[in-house]
Structure 1
Amino acid sequence: MVDDAVRAPLPGAVLFACNFNRVRSPMAEALLKRALGDRIYVDSCGLRREATETGERVDPFVQAVMAEISCDLVAHSSKTFDDLEDDSFDLVVSLTPEAQHRAVEMTRGRAAEIEYWPTFDPTLSDGSWATRMAAYREVRDALAARIAERFGR
């Protein structure tokens, strides 16, 4: 672990991006907010909206695994890059290859950092409820570890 005295300063604004803003990026947003509170601005978005029977809310499995660690995502509403009120982020973290491409386009000509954290899509897991929950927990825990490593606070 890096000593606080030599650790890079926190970015002022971080954006997490994935494909639909229903699974991975809302998880990462909530985890970083949980870790750092209001010390930095954190947001998330996706490339496009996914048509769902329940509207544009976070995936129910995400709600369940995040509730296990006291992160309530029931009110999360998915948004796209185009829905962002401001696009002047210091750090954009892409969780999918497609989002990485869009992040590069968005930050072209700006002094923003871009990081790519390839993250498994747990919606691809099949099986029982318990098996699927385990896949979502694995993604949540991997994102939490990566956030702790990157931001260390």
Structure 2
Amino acid sequence: MAEVLARAHLPKTTYIASAGVKGGESDPFVDAILKEECLPIIARQPRKLDDLGDGYFDLIVTMSPEAHHYTLNHTMGDAVDVEFWPIPDPSATTGSRDQILAAYRDVFHRIEVKIKELRQRSS
């Protein structure tokens, strides 16, 4: 979600790559929310930070304590800013489909607000 939102709200000249600490499968609830918001679905498996290769980034945004600690440990000495945006993990939500989708919508909107704030700061 974060990558798609960043691509929608940040300048087209911004290099954006999304990765996590763990590998995994595509999340159908993410796809459902992106579809609701009329945004494109990325047709690839989620990547791990180690899969991104060169590591030449100006900013890395982390959204979980685990990702933040991992990133700080693996970027020591690199000229990169690391920001922590504490965002709940919607995949941990239990309940009905509607309750789970509500959690994903909440995360979508939280990320969207943070990206818009980032865009404002960068202007």
CA distance in structure 2 between the aligned counterparts of 1:72 and 1:82, rounded to whole angstroms:
25
Deviates more, 1:33-42 or 1:112-121: 33-42
CA distance in structure 1 between the aligned counterparts of 2:5 and 2:36, rounded to whole angstroms:
12
Please state if 1:85 is matched with 2:59.
Answer: no
1:45 maps to 19
Q: Offset at 1:67?
A: 1.2
Q: 1 or 2, which has the higher strand percentage?
A: 1
Please list the CA deviations of residues 78-131 of structure 1 after superposition, one character each: whole Å capped at 9, or x if unmatched. Answer: 111221132111001010111111211222112110100111011121211111
Residue from 66, 72, 87 that aligns with 2:34: 66
TM-score by length of 1: 0.73
* Secondary structure of residue in 2 paired with 1:38: coil
Please list the CA deviations of residues 47-93 of structure 1 after superposition, one character each: whole Å capped at 9, or x if unmatched. Answer: 1223xxxxx3x200000001111222250321112211321110010
Residue ranges of structure 1 left out of the alignment (5+ in a row): 1-26, 51-55
Q: 1 or 2, which has the higher helix percentage?
A: 2
2:106 maps to 138
For this pair of structures, how many residues does the alignment match? 121
* Secondary structure of residue in 1 paired with 2:41: coil
CA distance in structure 2 between the aligned counterparts of 1:133 and 1:90, rounded to whole angstroms:
33
Q: Is the 8 A contact 1:33 1:42 kept in 2?
A: yes
Residue ranges of structure 2 left out of the alignment (5+ in a row): none
1:29 maps to 3
Q: Which AA in structure 2 matches 1:114?
A: V
2:85 maps to 117
Percent same amino acid at aligned positions? 37
1:97 maps to 65
Q: Is the 8 A contact 1:87 1:106 kept in 2?
A: no
TM-score by length of 2: 0.90
CA distance in structure 1 between the aligned counterparts of 2:111 and 2:95, rounded to whole angstroms:
23
Q: Offset at 1:37?
A: 4.8
Please provide the CA RMSD for this pair.
1.5
